[in-house]
Structure 1
Amino acid sequence: MEYIIGILILVSFFGLAFYAAKGGNLMMGMLVMAILWTVLPMIGNTFPTNPAFVAANAENVSITWIQAFSKVFQSGPEGWGTVLVNVVFGAWFGRVLLETGIASTLIRKTTELGGDKPAVTCILLCIVTTAIFSSLFGAGAVVAIGVIILPILMSLGIPKVLSVVSFMLSIGAGMFLNPVLFGQYTAFFLDAEGRTTYPYEEYVHWGGIALAVQLIFTICLVLFCMRKKKTVHSWAARRPIRQKMDFAPGKSLLTPFIPVFLLIVFKVPIIMGFLIGGFYALFVCGKLKNFRTACRTFNKDFFDGVVDTAPLVGFLLMVPMFNKAAELCIPYFNALLGNVIPHSTLFITIIFCVLAPLGLFRGPFTLYGCGAATLGILKGIGFSTAFLAPLMIASTTVMNVSCCITQSWIVWGISYAKVSTRDFLKMSVVCGWIICVILQIVTFVMFG
């Protein structure tokens, strides 16, 4: 019986992969999978046929249907509620950076520093974009920054494809340290009580290395592609700078780095870091002139921030359900695959390096697709969270967040710059593949 249930569970996994690749609604996909992966193992538990299997998995097999339903559909999303609070406050902080003009001022100052050297300007803008998106998050934020940066790059003679790819890779690099995005990843790594098993403090060392790897690769890409380009004197490049002359104060430009700095150096809780950074920005930018204005500004930015993250919240509330259901499937994964998939971190690392493009199109290597099922299978076989978390986060952040056309802000960037999807993917997939290989090797060296 355990083999039949195991095969049905595996078939449903491939069904999710096909559904995700076809662009299906992932929120509904995760809910359906949570139901299937709860019902199937419970049927197997109700009608066991192998005494050895029952003895080896007594705790899982003895769970009742009501206990299973409570574990999956109640405790699962409740456990992620604490993480959701971090995401909301981070989204508010991002709106503060946009509304105060701090993000746009950083970009304008950087463009002036680059002068009339396109490659230098592009590299400096990549660095600033990475720094900004270490705190900023959301499609709205990408669009707000993109409408400033992309016209500058293209008007300086930088090829459109390179402009979009370097911009998206820079965003992805910053996301490796972004507390808001990491808060979403933690939904995949919760214990039975809903507490995260992979805290930011444990992740940040690897995350900083990943940020550096992707940013350095992006800089090398720009230098390689622009090696034969001549200096371009384009008056059009100044137009985005002159759209709005009120620069944010110089002392406010430190704001994007405040929450992460406080967390890493002084262990200040991330929500408090967001509050300190956000109100510091509002104060130095003159947005807190009186109590009534402060209330109105705080309410508006908080509302806009919640709207920015709303599309992801539903999906991320389904993920803990799916994770809890995957725990019920662990005995069946072990029975079916325990002797098939080698328990070798080197083997898994090689697979992730060779098949890195499977992180595209919501595939089995991205957590924002059917990678959640892949994670469940690998956890069930016995690989540690310390190894699996960076392995999955690398492929998700590089291939999905930075390179995939199923990502909303990448679709916007391609459309805005009038770049063909084919040309974008030809460059982005190769770049993402190389970055993934480097990061997976780093992960194996550090945690394998």
Structure 2
Amino acid sequence: MIFKMESVAALLIAIILAALVTGQAKSWKKFVDFLDGTAQRGVKDISGLITFLLILMTFQGVAGVNADLFTPIFRNIIPQHNLLLLVVGLGILAPLALMRGPLMAYGAGAATVAVLSSLNILPDSVLLPLISVASIFAISTDITQSWNVWGMDYLDVKSGQFLKHGVPLMWGVTFINQFVVWIVFH
């Protein structure tokens, strides 16, 4: 950031510096083996995430294409002219964002967002903050989030204890944030 470098160039320089500092660049073969081994381990470590993201993109695409099939269902469920009722409903249903559920924009909720967006019930400028608030609920308290898992492990907190204390707190914060969205867009 200091040198305003492109990310790929900065990453390559960082790799070379890391290899030099750790003694992995004493010979060309050792350097190539280091790069190859690191790349293999890195891809293996995130293979589940890569697969999840590929499936998520497919899921989201299919949901958007098939939005017309969901239109009658969602039009009867979603209050189209009462943003306050929608805000309260999403506040109540916010735990559906947990475990990358249907209100988590970065999980199964990607399909929900695609369907809701294509229905044109609400402008995306309103829909995005409403779904983002539910997603923040999950990002803060979901035990499938890597930083939450790391934090629980680091602090030696069991997942049940984390959920017991985190969910009620963030559920309250979610209601407050949903009402902030209502105030801004009302």
TM-score range, shorter chain: 0.5 to 0.7
Provide the residue aligned with 2:95 in structure 1. Answer: 357
- 2:65 is aligned to 328
Question: Aligned-residue CA RMSD in angstroms?
Answer: 4.1
Matched position secondary structure for 1:342:
coil
Which entry has the higher C-alpha Rg, 1 or 2?
A: 1
Q: Counterparts of 1:304 and 1:279 in 2: how far apart (Å)?
A: 18
* SS of residue in 2 equivalent to 1:332: helix
Structure 1 unpaired stretches of 5+: 1-260
Question: Is the counterpart of residue 395 in structure 1 residue 134 in structure 2?
Answer: yes
Higher relative contact order (CA 8 A, sep 6+): 1
Aligned residues: 184
| Identical amino acids, percent of aligned pairs | 32
Distance across 1 between alignment mates of 2:95 and 2:46:
26
For the 8 Å contact 2:56–2:108, the answer to whether it is kept is: no
2-side partners of 1:372 and 1:360: how far apart?
A: 13
Cα offset, 1:413, TM superposition: 6.0
Which of 35, 39, 43 is residue 302 of structure 1 equivalent to? 39
Structure 2 CA distance, aligned partners of 1:431 and 1:278? 42
Work out whether residues 362 and 369 of structure 1, in 8 Å CA contact, stay in contact via their aligned partners in 2.
yes
Name the SS for the 1:364 alignment partner: coil
User: 2:114 maps to what in 1?
Assistant: 376
CA contact (8 A) 1:334 1:381 kept: yes
Please list, as runs of the form range in 1=range in 2, the aligned pairs for 1:91-170 lying within 5 A after superposition: none
Residue 182 of structure 1 is matched in structure 2 by none
Distance 1:296 1:389, change over 3 A: farther
- CA separation of 1:420 and 1:302: change in aligned 2, threshold 3 A: closer
Matching of residues 33-432 of structure 1 within 5 Å: 261=1, 266=4, 268=6, 270-283=7-20, 287-338=24-75, 340-343=77-80, 346-347=83-84, 348-367=86-105, 369-382=107-120, 383-385=122-124, 387-389=126-128, 391-396=130-135, 398-399=137-138, 401-407=139-145, 410=148, 414=152, 419-432=157-170
